Amino acid sequence: MTRRTVRIAVNGVTGRMGHHQHLVRSLLALREQGGLGLGDGTRLWPEPVLVGRREAALRELADRYGLTAWSTDLAGVLADPAVEVYFDAQATSAREAALRQAIAAGKHVYTEKPTATTLDGALALARAARAAGVKHGVVQDKLFLPGLRKLKRLLDGGFFGRVLSVRGEFGYWVFEGDWQPAQRPSWNYRAEDGGGIVVDMFPHWEYVLHELFGRVRTVQALTATHVPQRWDERGKPYDATADDAAYGIFELEGGVVAQINSSWAVRVHRDELVEFQVDGTEGSAVAGLRGCRFQHRAATPKPVWNPDLPSPHAFRDQWQEVPDNGESDNGFKAQWELFLKHVYADAPYHWDLFAGARGVQLAELGLRSAAEGRRIDVPEIAR
Ligand SMILES: NC(=O)c1ccc[n+]([C@@H]2O[C@H](COP(=O)([O-])OP(=O)(O)OC[C@H]3O[C@@H](n4cnc5c(N)ncnc54)[C@H](O)[C@@H]3O)[C@@H](O)[C@H]2O)c1
């Protein structure tokens, strides 16, 4: 067994995603399991190089996890030939320029979504990575959620017959920040800083719909800024200039109609923070982050509309749980493993910067649809 150390620059590591999901739950978790086996006797040992803007925060993080490499000098880190992979979990507005720099330095790049704030920018990154011959990947974590994997199992097993429609409900109340601190960063609510729920969530909906049900062919969205004033991390009031809710309808190749509500101004009366109901000719299912319930056509009740009487049906009780049938790891870590195997063992990997560009495209066209008040075609992106 040979151990191969791979130095990975992790930029934006002090943020919510960079710290918790990518550093702790993914890269450090890989070390806890003894590294990542490549199947040929090699074990990869990730050595994170913490990158960010605030020296004190980086040093504190490094000390907390017993790490030694950190820097506020991105160019310097990228100039180090020992650093082979660049990962970006910065605030969205800072991403494109940093990725461009990393690709120019010949690093393999892995990144949070959205890859850029415009389709042109996202495509330019994908083409630059291809021209440079580096490996590239984009986080598409929802595909690795236990609930969506169970849904995929139902689809692959032919459970639904012909899928007719998908109804997604995503959201929760994000506190305004005055009498209780907000649980999301304030840049999320400022369009000029890359915020907005369309830019944030439509990239997720793009790959979920595409991979499970079919490519998105058209989009129609209505956006709103329901909460126009919020308070930032320092308790200062600011104007929310970005959308905090989006009501979207998506037509998919193959005829499925998907409708997804996304909102940071909704209170949860659901079992999970996101749920997708899929209705098919043979059966239906409701999938969340972890669970997935289904109802076969043979077990479908026959309700009759009569508001004069209490319903004789306990509708929620009429569904069955899809069993786990195996353990599921943290989705971010599972995808890191696949990306590192792609880089170091040439394993196939299709969630690349071109796939990431599709998500940016859907967000861009979703916002245009909302601004112009019309349904918009989503052209297929040529690789
Ligand atoms: N895959 C997912 O499920 C998921 C979930 C949430 C966020 N995200 C994405 O991850 C990225 C980071 O989101 P987050 O919630 O961790 O944000 P965050 O504000 O908690 O962290 C942002 C990080 O970027 C750094 N940064 C660099 N330049 C910045 C700038 N100009 N303004 C503000 N911060 C800057 C910050 O110091 C911090 O380390 C975003 O692009 C977001 O879209 C993905």
Range of the domain at 170: 142-328
The phi, psi pair for 63, rounded to 5°, reads: -60, -45
Which residue lies with its CA nearest to atom 34 of ligand 1?
91
In terms of domains, do 20 and 129 share one?
Answer: yes
Q: Is residue 85 situated within a structural domain?
A: yes
Find the 212 Cα to ligand 1 centroid distance in Å: 27
Q: Give the type of residue at 282.
A: E
CA distance 29 to 65: 12
Q: Is the pLDDT of residue 205 over 90?
A: yes
131 with 200, same domain: the answer is no
pLDDT, average across residues 317-331: 93
Q: Is the bond preceding 303 in cis, omega lying within 30 degrees of 0?
A: no
- Do the domain assignments include residue 43? yes
Say if 56 falls within a structural domain: yes
Residue 382 pLDDT greater than 90, yes or no: no
Q: What is the pLDDT of residues 345-361, one digit of tens each?
A: 999 999 999 999 999 99
Are residues 202 and 128 located together in one domain of the fold? no
Compute the distance between CA of residue 340 and CA of residue 344 in angstroms, rounded to an integer.
6
Ligand 1 contact, 72 CB (< 6 A): no
Give the CA angle between residues 232, 237, 239 to the nearest 5°.
95
Residue 39 has a CB neighbour count (10 Å cut-off) of 8
**CATH number for the domain that contains residue 60:** 3.40.50.720
- CA-141 nearest atom, ligand 1: 1
Supply the residue whose CA is at minimum distance from atom 15 of ligand 1: 16
173/311 same-domain check: yes
Cβ(357)–Cβ(96) under 8 Å?
no
d(CA 274, CA 195): 20
Looking at the structure, do residues 40 and 125 belong to the same domain, yes or no?
A: yes
- 301 and 344 fall within a common domain: no
The verdict on residue 355 lying in a domain is no
Q: How many domains does the chain have?
A: 2
3-state secondary structure 119-175: HHHHHHHHHHHHHHCCCEEECCHHHHCHHHHHHHHHHHCCCCCCEEEEEEEEECECC
Angstrom distances, CA of residue 63 to CA of 32, 58, 84, 205 = 17, 9, 23, 37
Q: What is the DSSP letter of 342?
A: H
Distance of alpha carbon 5 from alpha carbon 85, whole angstroms: 12
* Centroid of ligand 1 to alpha carbon of 11 (angstroms): 10
How many A from CA of 4 to the centre of ligand 1?
30
Q: Phi first, then psi: what are they for 119, rounded to 5°?
A: -65, -40
In tens, the pLDDT along 249-278 reads: 999 999 999 999 999 999 999 999 999 999
Ligand 1 centroid – CA 250 distance (Å): 27
Q: From ligand 1's centre to the CA of 52, what distance in Å?
A: 11
- Give yes or no for residue 327 having a pLDDT over 90: no
pLDDT score, position 169: 98
Which residues, including other chains, have CB under 8 Å from residue 96's CB and lie 6 or more apart? 115, 116, 117, 121, 122, 125
Q: Is the pLDDT of residue 328 over 90?
A: no
Tens-digit pLDDT profile for residues 41-82: 999 999 999 999 999 999 999 999 999 999 999 999 999 999
Instruction: State the distance from the centre of ligand 1 to the C-alpha of 13, rounded, in angstroms.
Output: 9
If pLDDT is split at 50, 70 and 90, which confidence band does 146 have?
very high
**Residue written as token pair 């790891």:** 329
Same domain, 203 and 291: yes
151 and 84 both lie in a single domain: no
The CATH number linked to 299 is 3.30.360.10
- Residue 126 resides in a domain: yes
Instruction: Say whether both 236 and 295 belong to one domain.
Output: yes
Is 20 close to ligand 1, i.e. is its CB under 6 Å away? no
Position 363 in a domain: no
pLDDT tens, position by position, 5-54: 999 999 999 999 999 999 999 999 999 999 999 999 999 999 999 999 99
4, 30, 41, 141, 150 from 38: Cα distances, Å: 10, 13, 7, 22, 27
Residue with tokens 């639904």: 160
Residue 128 and residue 170 in one domain: no
| Ligand 1 close to Cβ of residue 347 (< 6 A) | no
Q: Do both 342 and 261 map to the same domain?
A: no
Asked whether residue 371 is domain-assigned, the answer is no
pLDDT in tens, 84-135: 999 999 999 999 999 999 999 999 999 999 999 999 999 999 999 999 999 9
In the block, residue with structure tokens 């169970």? 150
163 with 312, same domain: the answer is yes
What is the average pLDDT score of the chain? 97
Mean of pLDDT values over 283-304: 97
What is the rounded distance in angstroms from the CA atom of residue 334 to the CA atom of residue 348? 14
Nearest to 47 by CA among 25, 30, 64, 61: 30
The answer to whether position 206 is within a domain reads: yes
